[in-house]
Amino acid sequence: MTQLNILTLPDSRLKTKAEPIKVIDEAVKQLAKDMLETMYAAPGIGLAATQVDQHVRLVVIDVSEEKNQPLVMVNPEIIEKAGIQTHEEGCLSVPGIYAKVKRADQIVVSFQDLEGNQQELAAEDLLAVCIQHELDHLEGVVFLDHLSALKRKLAIKKLARA
Protein backbone atom coordinates (compact mmCIF):
# COMPACT_ATOMS: atom_id res chain seq x y z
CA MET A 1 0.00 0.00 0.00
CA THR A 2 1.03 3.58 -0.58
CA GLN A 3 0.28 6.80 1.21
CA LEU A 4 -1.04 9.34 -1.27
CA ASN A 5 -0.56 13.10 -1.38
CA ILE A 6 -3.63 14.97 -0.11
CA LEU A 7 -4.49 18.13 -2.06
CA THR A 8 -5.08 21.23 0.07
CA LEU A 9 -6.76 24.55 -0.62
CA PRO A 10 -6.30 26.63 -2.68
CA ASP A 11 -5.52 23.78 -5.13
CA SER A 12 -8.08 24.14 -7.94
CA ARG A 13 -8.18 20.36 -8.53
CA LEU A 14 -10.38 20.14 -5.41
CA LYS A 15 -13.12 21.80 -7.49
CA THR A 16 -13.13 18.98 -10.09
CA LYS A 17 -16.34 16.95 -10.33
CA ALA A 18 -15.66 13.20 -10.09
CA GLU A 19 -16.68 10.75 -12.81
CA PRO A 20 -18.58 7.51 -12.10
CA ILE A 21 -16.51 4.33 -11.88
CA LYS A 22 -17.63 2.04 -14.71
CA VAL A 23 -15.60 -1.06 -13.77
CA ILE A 24 -14.38 -2.03 -10.30
CA ASP A 25 -11.01 -3.49 -11.26
CA GLU A 26 -7.77 -4.09 -9.38
CA ALA A 27 -6.73 -0.44 -9.89
CA VAL A 28 -9.89 0.77 -8.11
CA LYS A 29 -9.38 -1.75 -5.28
CA GLN A 30 -5.74 -0.62 -4.90
CA LEU A 31 -6.79 3.03 -4.88
CA ALA A 32 -9.28 2.25 -2.08
CA LYS A 33 -6.54 0.50 -0.04
CA ASP A 34 -4.13 3.40 -0.59
CA MET A 35 -6.83 5.91 0.35
CA LEU A 36 -7.56 4.04 3.59
CA GLU A 37 -3.87 3.99 4.48
CA THR A 38 -3.61 7.70 3.69
CA MET A 39 -6.73 8.54 5.72
CA TYR A 40 -5.58 6.58 8.78
CA ALA A 41 -2.08 8.11 8.64
CA ALA A 42 -3.36 11.69 8.25
CA PRO A 43 -5.25 11.01 10.65
CA GLY A 44 -8.79 11.48 9.39
CA ILE A 45 -12.20 9.80 9.38
CA GLY A 46 -12.99 10.18 5.68
CA LEU A 47 -11.30 10.74 2.34
CA ALA A 48 -12.66 11.23 -1.17
CA ALA A 49 -10.72 10.27 -4.29
CA THR A 50 -10.87 13.92 -5.39
CA GLN A 51 -8.68 14.82 -2.40
CA VAL A 52 -5.89 12.58 -3.72
CA ASP A 53 -6.19 13.90 -7.28
CA GLN A 54 -8.18 10.92 -8.56
CA HIS A 55 -11.40 12.26 -9.99
CA VAL A 56 -13.59 9.18 -9.66
CA ARG A 57 -16.58 8.55 -7.40
CA LEU A 58 -14.88 6.69 -4.56
CA VAL A 59 -14.83 7.50 -0.84
CA VAL A 60 -13.43 5.78 2.23
CA ILE A 61 -14.69 6.37 5.77
CA ASP A 62 -14.04 5.02 9.25
CA VAL A 63 -15.71 6.82 12.17
CA SER A 64 -15.01 4.01 14.67
CA GLU A 65 -12.95 4.77 17.78
CA GLU A 66 -10.68 1.79 17.09
CA LYS A 67 -10.22 2.66 13.39
CA ASN A 68 -11.12 -0.89 12.41
CA GLN A 69 -14.44 -0.45 10.56
CA PRO A 70 -13.50 0.85 7.11
CA LEU A 71 -16.33 1.68 4.75
CA VAL A 72 -15.54 1.89 1.03
CA MET A 73 -18.21 3.36 -1.24
CA VAL A 74 -18.04 3.26 -5.04
CA ASN A 75 -20.41 5.59 -6.91
CA PRO A 76 -22.21 6.69 -3.72
CA GLU A 77 -25.42 8.67 -3.94
CA ILE A 78 -27.64 9.99 -1.15
CA ILE A 79 -31.18 8.82 -1.84
CA GLU A 80 -32.93 10.05 1.33
CA LYS A 81 -32.36 12.88 3.79
CA ALA A 82 -34.17 13.86 6.99
CA GLY A 83 -33.70 16.36 9.81
CA ILE A 84 -30.99 18.95 10.29
CA GLN A 85 -27.93 18.93 12.51
CA THR A 86 -25.08 21.36 13.00
CA HIS A 87 -21.69 19.77 13.45
CA GLU A 88 -18.21 21.22 13.66
CA GLU A 89 -16.29 19.97 10.65
CA GLY A 90 -12.68 19.91 9.64
CA CYS A 91 -11.04 18.57 6.50
CA LEU A 92 -7.73 17.03 5.52
CA SER A 93 -7.75 19.36 2.49
CA VAL A 94 -8.31 22.42 4.70
CA PRO A 95 -5.84 21.77 7.54
CA GLY A 96 -6.33 23.54 10.85
CA ILE A 97 -9.69 25.09 9.93
CA TYR A 98 -12.91 24.06 11.67
CA ALA A 99 -16.41 25.45 11.26
CA LYS A 100 -20.00 24.56 12.10
CA VAL A 101 -21.91 23.24 9.09
CA LYS A 102 -25.62 22.38 8.79
CA ARG A 103 -26.35 19.04 7.17
CA ALA A 104 -29.05 16.38 7.18
CA ASP A 105 -29.24 14.46 10.45
CA GLN A 106 -30.24 11.16 8.85
CA ILE A 107 -29.46 9.90 5.36
CA VAL A 108 -29.69 6.78 3.24
CA VAL A 109 -26.84 6.31 0.79
CA SER A 110 -26.77 3.90 -2.15
CA PHE A 111 -23.39 2.65 -3.38
CA GLN A 112 -21.44 -0.30 -4.69
CA ASP A 113 -18.95 -2.20 -2.56
CA LEU A 114 -15.57 -3.29 -3.95
CA GLU A 115 -17.15 -6.50 -5.27
CA GLY A 116 -19.65 -4.50 -7.33
CA ASN A 117 -22.63 -5.36 -5.11
CA GLN A 118 -25.25 -2.65 -4.74
CA GLN A 119 -25.68 -1.59 -1.10
CA GLU A 120 -27.84 0.81 0.89
CA LEU A 121 -26.80 2.23 4.24
CA ALA A 122 -28.87 4.28 6.68
CA ALA A 123 -26.66 6.67 8.63
CA GLU A 124 -27.10 9.32 11.30
CA ASP A 125 -25.01 11.60 13.50
CA LEU A 126 -21.26 11.64 12.74
CA LEU A 127 -21.43 8.97 10.02
CA ALA A 128 -24.15 10.93 8.20
CA VAL A 129 -22.07 14.12 8.44
CA CYS A 130 -18.96 12.35 7.19
CA ILE A 131 -20.72 10.76 4.21
CA GLN A 132 -22.25 14.10 3.19
CA HIS A 133 -18.88 15.84 3.59
CA GLU A 134 -17.06 13.26 1.44
CA LEU A 135 -19.76 13.18 -1.23
CA ASP A 136 -19.48 16.97 -1.46
CA HIS A 137 -15.82 16.49 -2.44
CA LEU A 138 -16.95 14.32 -5.36
CA GLU A 139 -18.97 17.31 -6.57
CA GLY A 140 -16.02 19.69 -6.21
CA VAL A 141 -17.39 21.21 -2.99
CA VAL A 142 -15.38 21.76 0.22
CA PHE A 143 -17.07 22.36 3.57
CA LEU A 144 -16.09 26.05 3.49
CA ASP A 145 -18.51 26.43 0.55
CA HIS A 146 -21.37 25.87 3.05
CA LEU A 147 -20.35 28.90 5.13
CA SER A 148 -21.49 32.50 4.74
CA ALA A 149 -19.27 34.64 2.52
CA LEU A 150 -17.78 36.40 5.57
CA LYS A 151 -17.00 33.18 7.48
CA ARG A 152 -15.54 31.60 4.33
CA LYS A 153 -13.33 34.66 3.73
CA LEU A 154 -12.07 34.59 7.34
CA ALA A 155 -11.34 30.86 7.15
CA ILE A 156 -9.43 31.23 3.87
CA LYS A 157 -7.44 34.14 5.36
CA LYS A 158 -6.57 31.98 8.38
CA LEU A 159 -5.55 29.11 6.08
CA ALA A 160 -3.30 31.43 4.06
CA ARG A 161 -1.55 32.62 7.25
CA ALA A 162 -0.90 29.02 8.32
Q: Which residues are catalytic?
A: 134
C-alpha pair distances (Å), 85 with each of 13, 107, 125, 126, 150: 29, 12, 8, 10, 21
152 neighbors 158 (Cβ within 8 angstroms)? no
SS3 96: strand
160 bridge partner residues: none
37: CB partners within 8 A, 6+ apart: 1, 2, 3
38 bridge partner residues: none
H or E stretch including 120?
A: strand 118-124
57: CB partners within 8 A, 6+ apart: 18, 19, 20, 21, 49, 74, 75, 76, 138
